[in-house]
Amino acid sequence: MSDTLQTAVVGVTGYAGAELARLLLHHPRLQNTPPVFAGRVDSNGSSGDASRNSIPLAEIHPQLAGGHTANLKLESFSWELLASRGVQILFLATPHEQSRTWVPEALARGLQVIDLSGAWRLTEAANRAIYNFEDEGTKLAAETQSQAVYGLPELHREQIANASLVANPGCYATSIILALRPLVAAGIVDLNHGIVADSKSGVSGAGKAPTAKTHFMYAADNLSAYGVFTHRHTGELLEQIGIDQSQIVFTPHLLPIPRGILSTIYAHFGGVQTAESISSIYHDFFAHSPMVRLFDKSLPQIQYSVRTNYADIGFQLAPDGRRAVIVSCLDNLLKGAASQAVQNLNIMQSWHEAEGLE
């Protein structure tokens, strides 16, 4: 294909950044225009030479070596570099604070941005407060936030198609929103009874930088809850499902596996439901969503979705028809991050939503 869209990725050294690079390098529409990889160039443990202004991509991620990627490099970031390469869409797989600084500048320079951080996901100040952004309340931050579209294609395709800034959702949030939004939108969930979302993620969800709770001796042979009532993805659940804080309890857990998320969600209904009625709600809601797989006769498992670009959803209805357990699985680095970003790219370019992902 002869499309000439030029993309750039900042943050390729991280786990999600590596997956994003792999997907873009193999995207059928981008074979003639590999991404520009930009960031901080230093001795990253393999180059050993902090004086260089570029590092071969294969030194950072040997799994990406070979073929048309052989000459690709991570180059020292500058706006001039992006301009000289004709970059049109900028992917940021950067920390929240970095994205808060760079996104307004990118937009001012006429770039479209797909941001994988949490910097611009939340429309309500009360939900953003957990990030403690230094620019909160400024005119520039408000103007930038007004341009942001929450990048969950299954909910916001039309807005994403015309967006200048797409805020890629959080991984936990994606798994829970996709499972709950159809039922809540259908009006069958008894919100006053409360929803419980019990989520478990592999260690890569914590990022590449090691911490006391993610190194092998802590995580192996262990299962631990964290971020109880304080996790940053909670605000996304409230805003995108359309509920308030009193109506859901979300508890994330750290699993001793590299990647993958399983969310087990407990919901009560206002009236008696049948398996067929709930299945119909899901199938109607996701009728045009190629990256969601619905399990009608079994429940999803992490092993089915890991290293794929799909979100898997299934449910089990209680005998009384008033309660259900919903299970939602995805790969936190793919549908929870990198492949969702590529899905958004496809929509922004009017390409098939699943191109390069199925």
329 is catalytic: no
Pairing label, strands 54-56, 73-76: antiparallel
The Cα 52–Cα 210 span in angstroms is: 25
Write down the catalytic residue from 24, 171, 191, 333. 171
The C-alpha atoms of residue 254 and residue 198 are separated, in whole angstroms, by 11
Enzyme catalytic residues: 171
